[in-house]
Amino acid sequence: METELLGVPSTVLTTKPFVSQARTMSRMRGDANYGLAIIDHPIVTLSDEELMARARIAADQVLRHVLDQ
């Protein structure tokens, strides 16, 4: 969120089990609607190809958030 204060559009990347915590932190920091890019969990066991597929999903969400600002 500090980067947003500097004028750099930003998004938080999280996996599904941590969405509630990410939203809580956003509310605590004063922006309940802060952009989240949410991907499936877990990621640690993924192959490079599977991780790239998740990264593409996240990138689409990040672009939507940044362009909507």
Q: What is the pLDDT along the chain (69 residues), one digit of tens a residue?
A: 688 888 888 899 999 999 999 999 999 998 888 899 999 999 999 999 999 999 999 999 999 998 987
How many structural domains does the chain have?
1
Distance CA(34)–CA(12), nearest Å, equals 8
Distance CA(2)–CA(7), nearest Å, equals 9
Name the H helices within 6-67: 19-28, 48-67
The pLDDT, as a whole number, for residue 2 is 80
- Length of the chain measured in residues: 69
Distance CA(30)–CA(36), nearest Å, equals 15
pTM of the model: 0.86
The identity of residue 4, as a single letter, is: E
The pLDDT, as a whole number, for residue 5 is 82
Could you list the residue range(s) of the whole structural domain that residue 10 is in?
2-67
